[in-house]
Copies of this chain bind each other. A is one copy, B any other.
Amino acid sequence: MATGRTHRPATRSRGIPEATVARLPLYLRALTALSERSVPTVSSEELAAAAGVNSAKLRKDFSYLGSYGTRGVGYDVEYLVYQISRELGLTQDWPVVIVGIGNLGAALANYGGFASRGFRVAALIDADPGMAGKPVAGIPVQHTDELEKIIQDDGVSIGVIATPAGAAQQVCDRLVAAGVTSILNFAPTVLNVPEGVDVRKVDLSIELQILAFHEQRKAGEEAGAGADGAVPPVAARKQPHSTDQGPDGDVPAVMPA
């Protein structure tokens, strides 16, 4: 079991702020679209609008990469596409393994967005023996036993976990032990990894809960502020579901102190 520390120390990645790194793929996507339309240059204002960000922020982001713009004109689209691609490491090929080929894993395997950049699905791995050999998205699923061999043979450094939550940590440990140093985790679990290993998580449930919070707030404000004038969001019934087991477990609003 992993016993090491978990937190990533805000990684100052060679002077490029983390927030900027997270936006580079966004710029790259907008630039790629422009490139396809053979647009030669683009101003920070236009590109920012396409990427959905502030133009000053975009210029500052680019300033971390260098001075690739021309004052009075803007940025050369093709050149910028190349520079960002290189900065992100997309000019090289990244073999990726997906572990857990269920509903989600199969969808990921079929996802074209993988291959569209430098990412290549090196292998699909599942613990279910009945699945071994079965092709998904044209790639035969391999058994978990092969995991270490595949990773070492193909030099895989990026792993995607799409197993049930209960298996995620165990899978993670095996991936790391075999040499994987970047993990994209779809299972709703906090992964424990040694230092030097990056973990990013995608958690659908959390996203929905955040939306629900704001949704509730919106409904509450409207209802409380004035008479429902506009289209009532119709949050409908306010039925406390489940959570029903406490003898007096859910004591409503009784503040201590």
Taking a contact as CB atoms under 8 Å apart, the answer to whether B243 and A85 are in contact is yes
Of residues 4 through 43 on chain A, the ones whose CB sits less than 8 Å from some CB of chain B are 6-7, 11, 13-14, 21-22, 24-26, 28-30, 32-33, 35-36
**Chain A interfacial positions (CB closer than 8 Å to B):** 6-7, 11, 13-14, 21-22, 24-26, 28-30, 32-33, 35-36, 50-52, 54, 66-68, 70, 78-79, 81-82, 85-94, 96, 103-104, 106-108, 110-120, 137, 155, 157-158, 179, 181-184, 188, 190, 196, 198, 200, 202-219, 228-229, 231, 233-241, 243, 246, 249-257
Number of copies: 2
Given A118-B236, A233-B92, does the pair A29, B256 have CB atoms closer than 8 Å? no
Residues in B neighbouring A68, C-beta threshold 8 A: 256
Give the distance in Å from the alpha carbon of A210 to the alpha carbon of B25 in the complex.
8
New contact pairs (10) apart from A67-B255, A91-B229, A120-B234, CB-CB < 8 Å? A22-B206, A24-B209, A79-B250, A81-B243, A96-B208, A118-B234, A158-B215, A179-B233, A184-B207, A202-B202
Residues in B neighbouring A118, C-beta threshold 8 A: 212, 233-234, 236, 241
Distance (whole angstroms) from the CB of A65 to the closest CB of chain B: 11
